[in-house]
Amino acid sequence: MTTTRIDRRMAKLKAEGRPALVTYFMGGDPDYETSLSIMKALPKAGSDIIELGMPFSDPMADGPAIQAAGLRALKAGQTLARTLEMAREFRAGDNDTPIVMMGYYNPIYIYGVDRFLTDAVASGIDGLIIVDLPPEMDAELCIPALKAGINFIRLISSNASDIRLKQQLGQASGFVYCVSTHGTTGLATPDPQKVRQLVRRIRAFTALPVCVGFGIKSADDVQTFGAIADGVVVGSEIVHAIARGVAMGSAAASVGAFVSDLGNAVRSVPRAPRIE
């Protein structure tokens, strides 16, 4: 693969000696225009990488907050095509911030893999996290995505054996998403020691950056886990901030204030030596 925006951004942050702040939101929540304004606000507030959620009717890995966001987006008419269009509109004003589309394979399968990858590249998409495509299905999307120049990012949980880790990381690129808790997103509280052990295990099999997600909720969490890994992912709490902002009539401002606190925290993480 050629170097992607994700590769360049992670290398830049490594040189700066700080972890990445990866922020997730659901495309189209609560509506297209509000969602686009939120997306544009994220880099200004301190987000280093944006995860753009693809709404789906049966989100098996998502907790209540993201499930509700996906339902709101679908009811507002959000589709995969409109999510790609959102990325394209964002990219017209920001050619540097990496965009990772996160979701499930069904909408992409229905859209058509070849068509999707062509449109994703044209929209400025840099990476994919597809929750329900294991390594055994790499020929479906992972390998075609890599050939198209799009990173394929794996979710890795603590119950994976060493053999499974090797399989999952074989075609991984961009960064590795370290799942800090069991269960769905946004519910359990991560145990720093267990996450530290998992990060160490992952790094034994790959030189890719490792970002920790699931259950990262606050600036304190960002500092705690940012000192362990190469980045932190915040999702459900941003979705909550969107819901609060919608109730007050200022979704983008609400998200911007919350992400700004996270951005300040990630930039003040005391960096320990890399754990090998």
- Residue 48 near residue 174 (C-beta atoms within 8 A): no
- The residues that are catalytic are 51, 62
Tell me what pLDDT residue 265 has. Answer: 96
What pTM does this model have? Answer: 0.94
Q: What confidence category does residue 60 fall into, taking pLDDT thresholds of 50, 70 and 90?
A: confident
Q: Would residue 224 count as lying in a domain? A: yes
Position 274 in a domain: no
Q: If you average pLDDT over residues 216-242, what whole number do you get?
A: 95
Residue 248: predicted pLDDT? 82
What is d(CA 2, CA 7) in angstroms, rounded to the nearest whole number?
Answer: 9
Residue 67 lies in a domain: yes
pLDDT at 275: 47
The verdict on residue 72 lying in a domain is yes
Question: pLDDT tens across 91-118, in order?
Answer: 999 999 999 999 999 999 999 999 999 9
Q: Is 276 domain-assigned? A: no
Please determine, for residue 270, whether its predicted confidence score (pLDDT) is greater than 80. no
Average pLDDT value for residue range 77-81: 98
Section 123-147 average pLDDT: 97
pLDDT tens, residue by residue, 164-220: 999 999 999 999 999 987 555 545 678 999 999 999 999 999 999 999 999 899 999
- Per the structure, the count of domains in the chain is 1
Q: Is residue 124 part of a domain?
A: yes
Examine the pLDDT at 273 and tell me if it is beyond 60.
Answer: no
Residue 250 banded pLDDT, cuts 50, 70, 90 = confident
pLDDT at 186: 47
DSSP annotation string for the chain: ----HHHHHHHHHHHHT--EEEEEEETTSS-HHHHHHHHHHHHHHT-SEEEEE---S--TT--HHHHHHHHHHHHTT--HHHHHHHHHHHHTT-SSS-EEEEE-HHHHHHH-HHHHHHHHHHHT--EEEETT--GGGTTTTHHHHHHTT-EEPPEE-TT--HHHHHHHHSS--S-EEEE-SSSSTTSSPP-HHHHHHHHHHHHTT--S-EEEESS--SHHHHHHHHTTSSEEEE-HHHHHHHHHHHHHT-HHHHHHHHHHHHHHHHTT--PPPPP-
Q: Is residue 53 part of a domain?
A: yes
Domain membership of residue 242 as a residue range: 5-266
- 275 within some domain: no
CATH code for the domain in which residue 91 is found: 3.20.20.70
